[in-house]
Amino acid sequence: MSLLKSIFGILIIIFFVFTSCTKSIDSSPKCTEQQKNIKEKLSSAAVQSKFVSEFIFSNETKPSLLMTWAGNQTLIIVTIRTQGVLTRDSSVYRSTNDGRTFVNITAKILEAGATSSALLVSQSLGLQRNPAQPARIYLACHDPAKLGGATGLLYYTLDGGATWHLSSPGFPVQSAQILFHTDKPDWLLAQAGDKLYLSVNAGQDWRLIKKRVFKASWGVSADDKDSIYAAFDGEASFVSLLRDGVASSNHRLPGRQLAKLTDFTAGSNNWKTLAEKIYSYNNKDGFIFISKSDEGKAESRHLEVSTDCGKTFVRTQLPSATPDRFFVILDTSDGLAFVHIDAGNYLGYGTLYTSNSLGQVFSKSLERNFYPPLGGSSDFYKVESMRGAFLSTVLHSDASMHSVITHNRGAVWRHLSKPDGVTCTTTDGGPCYLQVASYYSISRSVPADQPRSAPSAVGLLIVHGHTAAKLQSNPADVYISSDGGYSWYLALKGPHRVQIGNNGNFLVAVEKSANGSSPQVVKFSTDAGRCWHSHRFTTEDYVFTGLLTEPGNRALTVAIWGYVSELHHWRVFVVDLGVLLSRSCTDSDYESWLSNGAVNYDNANHQACVLGAKETIKRLKADSMCASTYSYKPQTSVTPCECTKDDFECEFGYTRPVNSLDCVRDPDVPTPRICDANTVKKIITEGYRKLPRNRCQGGFQPNVTHQEVLHEASCPQPTEDPRARDGRLLIQSIEQQRQQAELDKTRRTVGLMVPLAITVAILLAIVLSLVVLARHRERRRRRLAFHYSIVSAAGRRGDEADGEDVEYQAADDILQGGGGSGGFYNATGATERRPTNGGGKMRASDKQALLGGGEDDEAPIF
Ligand SMILES: *[C@@H]1O[C@H](CO)[C@@H](O)[C@H](O)[C@H]1NC(C)=O
Ligand SMILES: *[C@@H]1O[C@H](CO)[C@@H](O)[C@H](O)[C@H]1NC(C)=O
Ligand SMILES: *[C@@H]1O[C@H](CO)[C@@H](O)[C@H](O)[C@H]1NC(C)=O
Ligand SMILES: *[C@@H]1O[C@H](CO)[C@@H](O)[C@H](O)[C@H]1NC(C)=O
Ligand SMILES: *[C@@H]1O[C@H](CO)[C@@H](O)[C@H](O)[C@H]1NC(C)=O
């Protein structure tokens, strides 16, 4: 009897496990019905084989794989076997059917040049694609005849790999980053080591345009696109190199200049200097930021900005950074800059500031914004599917971390609302919200995946996280918002890799299992992740490396990449949702969706008003079973709203507490005073400043800034500074007062530092190890000191003779410990690389590494 009971018990448990595995979280009759229909459709073997097709790269065992999409359902794959930095062996494959089948085109590419017997694609920068014209693909190769590496070969295609051309650029193109002009596809820059080369005929002919280059870029604003910017080191840096004995590869040398070249098509090499003594620069979205050392204090640096293509630079009102602090320019879209300034002392947080539209005056957006010291991943994420939305993480003084979201570009940050119908996992530490396990959590091995959103999938945001009071380290679940992050629902239990397909029309997911086994089941949803279906696509063991879809998230296919463990053959499964979404979407499949509809919905006048306007977007209904066209673009109509406090940010000297709209006076900052027309004036404001690009009309109007005259004719230094003329001195004087206030504040808060002592102790250990590292570098520097003097001499000789700096290049190699690809001006140690959503190009140093997918997006750190 008891035996029967326990068998019955086991049966119930098995039944329970079985149903809970196959059942989706949504158990509505509509979902059950849909699941039944799709299961029926997929039960036919003919449909199944169309739904998932498999391709095995038989006899292909090379361990590295580079991949890029060339548009028009075309994929280019390069497989590589290396020996040290050299490529021993590589093959190129092309697919013209979204990856269902591939053809070995290695021999065809070699036909482009009669000189070469083997194709040796470089592993680090071997496959580069013009992002504006994906059919233009560049294969940077080692020259089999000159394996020393002084020159390389460049094979390229302008038609997605159908025909190939060869050029011999005469420089180490195999280690060069190619920079593409945004709308002149024939114009290319290539930075190889510290030399900058230009081609104006799609890569066929190249000429050297600048030496000792640290960083280069194309101009960004509309009337400046045809200029080349470069930061390079002048003579002075060699002197300082010798004097200071800098050995670190990421140490910034003063003496660096920013210059611009415009009339290069006529063969000119007349660089116009824009700024001197800079550390680094960043030009994006019409801003050019430079970091410079403070006058008389070489160790601390500040940020200057230009919004007129480098004609004038104005010092920003942000505090200076001492050597233990850093600036990060996180985003410059919508005419505003988000800048993170580290708090110093390796505390792991800093303050996030937003600029005004000129990039000069900044106000505090978010305090205790988490950003790991010594590089690493921050959780700052721009939501691509809704304008003005960003995610970040704050670090509290008890070391707990909390996710926050803004919907108005940093004016107000809020916690993420608790997902409907989900119970809180821990109540420890306050009220329950959705906590996002993002880049930092992933870097700390929390089972999760990065957030996902796409501009064409309007309002859709997919994150991993927990419903809890603070960030958790146990495996995360998948949560989805279809209204840009206002409300959330639980979509999948446990960590998954998710991809957005066909403009958000469907989602595909595979489980990231805790035991490391590879997924054999693919899950998909056609209603933004509420109702899920699953399909077993293989029963064989393989090693999973990635789930990828074409950048832009428009395609109807998603590919599951991996390799067969024993044979080491690459294999790919292509899941084609077009089989299920066979009907083309018509007008009735779209709905008018009020973006930010959850904002102020209790106030009919202001419902959905964000950045001063409401936007109505035509988007696909969540449950539409159709395929949208490849060229679909969401249509938006805009109406202005009445102004509210939401449309204003806080003036300098005011802050806004989390979850409040009021700008309150910061008692530590004195009232700003300016010197205008030989008179000192006190500026009094109500603390609010309208957000740039805000389109609101009427409504809330804070009292206009007014000035109070304090002393007639008693300005300290009238108009010596040319910037005082147009009021820019204001920024400097505010800055000085700010610095004083910070100093006072620091003095007062020293006594409060005790609770932080433990954290500091841990961080001290990190610092100590850094000191040890620095000592090690110092010892190495001493050993290399002899070489430095040669470098310096050779560098100058090279300049005078205007010939090739062979010795200089060789000395670079010494500094790099033989690698020599970067040159020591490349601050590779200080730039954070992070894959962004979508994926354009991917790399894997070996098959174990996940082919995570994603174009590298750098957050420039100064
Ligand atoms: C793979 O190798 C086997 C034997 O090693 C050979 O028979 C087969 O033709 C090869 N396949 C391809 C596609 O080269
Ligand atoms: C896409 O490829 C097909 C054949 O694969 C070709 O006929 C068509 O012209 C291509 N379209 C474009 C825009 O390149
Ligand atoms: C691909 O083609 C090249 C050139 O014909 C050949 O050397 C190579 O072995 C091929 N790769 C495979 C895996 O068959
Ligand atoms: C690993 O976990 C998955 C579910 O996550 C399960 O299906 C599979 O059987 C497990 N494999 C092993 C070897 O335990
Ligand atoms: C504007 O200033 C006046 C006088 O200083 C004050 O009475 C009024 O309340 C202020 N208005 C707002 C909206 O703060």
Gap between the Cα atoms of 718 and 124, Å rounded? 55
The residue whose CA has the least distance to atom 5 of ligand 4 is 513
Is residue 721 domain-resident?
A: no
547 phi, psi to nearest 5 deg: -120, 115
* pLDDT score for 401: 93
Domain identity same for 193 and 90: yes
Is residue 403 domain-resident?
A: yes
Domain identity same for 533 and 520: yes
Domain identity same for 204 and 95: yes
Domain identity same for 633 and 666: no
* pLDDT score for 533: 95
Gap between the Cα atoms of 79 and 89, Å rounded? 8
8 A C-beta contact, residue 423 and residue 469? no
Tokens of 677: 């027309």
The 10 Å CB-count burial string (b at 16+, else e) for 53-64 is bebebeebbbbb
For ligand 5, whether the C-beta of 686 sits within 6 Å is: yes
**H helix or E strand, kind and range, residue 759:** helix 757-801
8 A C-beta contact, residue 279 and residue 293? yes
Looking at 656, 686, 710, which one is the last position of a domain?
A: 710
Is residue 672 domain-resident?
A: yes
Atom of ligand 5 nearest to the CA of 702: 13
pLDDT in tens, 684-709: 677 787 776 788 888 888 876 666 66
Domain identity same for 520 and 477: no
- CA distances to 87, 332, 369, 563 from 353, rounded to whole Å, are 45, 12, 10, 46
For ligand 4, whether the C-beta of 19 sits within 6 Å is: no
Gap between the Cα atoms of 219 and 228, Å rounded? 6
232 phi, psi to nearest 5 deg: -140, 165
Domain identity same for 635 and 671: no
Segments forming the whole domain that contains residue 679: 645-710
Is residue 2 domain-resident?
A: no
Question: Which residues have CB under 6 Å of ligand 1?
Answer: 58-59
Write down the pTM of the prediction: 0.75
Domain identity same for 84 and 189: yes
Q: 437 CA to middle of ligand 4, Å?
A: 23
Sheet holding 590-594, edge to edge: 590-594, 613-620, 635-640
8 A C-beta contact, residue 528 and residue 480? yes
Q: How many domains does the chain have?
A: 5
What is the chain's length? 862
Question: Which residues have CB under 6 Å of ligand 3?
Answer: 59-60, 91, 104, 106-107
The conformation of residue 326, written as its DSSP 8-state character, comes to: -
For ligand 5, whether the C-beta of 714 sits within 6 Å is: no
The residue whose CA has the least distance to atom 11 of ligand 4 is 517
- CA distances to 48, 498, 521, 571 from 53, rounded to whole Å, are 8, 19, 14, 11
Gap between the Cα atoms of 331 and 727, Å rounded? 27
Q: 118 CA to middle of ligand 2, Å?
A: 29
pLDDT in tens, 510-522: 999 888 789 999 9
Q: CATH code at 630? A: 2.10.70.80
pLDDT in tens, 459-514: 999 999 999 999 999 999 999 999 999 999 999 999 999 999 999 999 999 999 88
Domain identity same for 449 and 539: no
* pLDDT score for 679: 66
In 3D, which of 547, 563, 510 has the Cα closest to residue 65? Answer: 563
Q: Which ligand is nearest to the CA of 708?
A: 5
Is residue 562 domain-resident?
A: yes
8 A C-beta contact, residue 631 and residue 502? no
Is residue 175 domain-resident?
A: yes
Q: 685 CA to middle of ligand 5, Å?
A: 10
In 3D, which of 656, 748, 647 has the Cα closest to residue 689? Answer: 647
Domain identity same for 459 and 563: no
**Amino acid letter for position 832:** E
Domain identity same for 399 and 479: yes
The conformation of residue 503, written as its DSSP 8-state character, comes to: G
8 A C-beta contact, residue 338 and residue 410? yes
> Which of the residues in the chain have pLDDT under 50?
1-23, 236-253, 717-737, 746-755, 778-858
- CA distances to 400, 496, 741 from 440, rounded to whole Å, are 13, 17, 33
Domain identity same for 81 and 199: yes
pLDDT in tens, 610-636: 778 888 988 888 778 888 887 788 888
Domain identity same for 472 and 620: no
